[in-house]
Amino acid sequence: MIRQDVDMTTQVSNQAGTGKANIGKILIAVVLTLVVGAFFYFDLGRFLTLTALKENRDSLLAFTDANFSVAVAIFIGTYVLVAGLSLPGAVILTLAGGFVFGAGLATVFINVGATTGATLAFLAARYVLRDTVEHKFGARLGSFQEGFAKNAFSYLLTLRLIPLFPFFVVNLVSGLTRVNVGTYIAATALGIIPGSFVYAYAGRQLGTINSLREIASPSVVGAFVLLGLLALLPVAYKKLSAKTA
């Protein structure tokens, strides 16, 4: 009888904990939806275009010169929001950073903002969606989860280096895997350096840029692809070693 009471109490506690967790997930999803909806409703994306950047370049330079620390804080904070909420405009922010801070400093500030935002998106996806996805597709995802977890750093580094994979998609999909948070942060921080520097450097020549396609030329994309493939060499080596052993 006592054991039954204990079991019932434990069951009720677990149900209560699950209920609170579900409420938390719903609240987070609602807040994120409202913020993203507000971004598009008020057309805030108009400030994150190449045209807007060119029109306001003198004002941006003047403000940065007079309020450097504030400008850095605003820049990093905006990058966190854009990356964390998967909003459009990261490329324009990168160009703006290169224009006002210089390629070197901008790359550092971009790395801090983008990595922080990506980690927040990763954690949100993991908290809100992973349990549901694993519950529905757990049997099908088992081998994928295991393989990804074993070579997470190389896989993530490749996805970050190759610009063919949208930044926000990698954030969200990674959150559905079992990759360690530390590994995710390290691969993200390292993998976005080349692309950040290329776009930040291009931002120094803002007046000569008429289209974002001019920056992402086939030769530049090809170089990123090669870097991404190099990151997969350790994985290929492991598999070959396992077959020959």
Q: pLDDT for 77-129, tens place per residue? A: 999 999 999 999 999 999 999 999 999 999 999 999 999 999 999 999 999 98
Q: How many domains does the chain have?
A: 1
Enter the pTM of the model: 0.81
Cα-flanking dihedrals φ and ψ of residue 29, to 5°? -60, -40
- For residue 95, the model assigns a pLDDT of 93
Cα–Cα distance, 86 to 27 (Å, whole number):
18
Residue 33 counted as domain residue: no
Cα–Cα distance, 94 to 102 (Å, whole number):
11
Q: How confident is the model at residue 222 (pLDDT cuts 50, 70, 90)?
A: low
Left (φ > 0), alpha (ψ -120 to 50) or beta: where does 43 sit?
A: left
- Residue tagged 């008429």 (tokens): 210
Q: Using N-to-C axis directions, what is the helix angle for 57-66 and 90-101, rounded to 10°?
A: 60
Residue 227 counted as domain residue: yes
**Alpha helices (H) along the chain:** 2-41, 50-55, 57-66, 68-84, 90-101, 103-125, 131-150, 152-161, 167-175, 181-191, 193-203, 218-231, 233-244
Q: What pLDDT, in 10s, does the model give residues 116-170? A: 999 999 999 999 988 777 777 666 666 667 767 788 898 899 889 887 778 998 9
- For residue 20, the model assigns a pLDDT of 73
- For residue 30, the model assigns a pLDDT of 92
Residue 56 counted as domain residue: yes
Q: What pLDDT, in 10s, does the model give residues 5-61? A: 545 445 545 555 566 778 888 899 899 999 999 999 999 999 999 999 999 999 999
Cα–Cα distance, 134 to 137 (Å, whole number):
5
Residue 113 counted as domain residue: yes
Residue 25 counted as domain residue: no
Residue 232 counted as domain residue: yes
- For residue 12, the model assigns a pLDDT of 47
> Which tokens in the block code for residue 44?
């805030």
- For residue 190, the model assigns a pLDDT of 94
- For residue 21, the model assigns a pLDDT of 72
Its domain, for residue 98, covers 43-244
Angle at 192 between CA 94 and CA 54, to 5 degrees: 10
Cα–Cα distance, 124 to 179 (Å, whole number):
14
Assess whether pLDDT exceeds 70 at residue 238: no
Q: Using N-to-C axis directions, what is the helix angle for 218-231 and 193-203, rounded to 10°?
A: 160
- Residue tagged 């994985």 (tokens): 235
- pLDDT top residue among 195 and 212: 195
Contact between 172 and 125 under an 8 Å Cβ cutoff? The reply is yes
- For residue 6, the model assigns a pLDDT of 47
Residue 106 counted as domain residue: yes
Query: What mean pLDDT value characterizes the chain?
Result: 83
Residue 66 counted as domain residue: yes
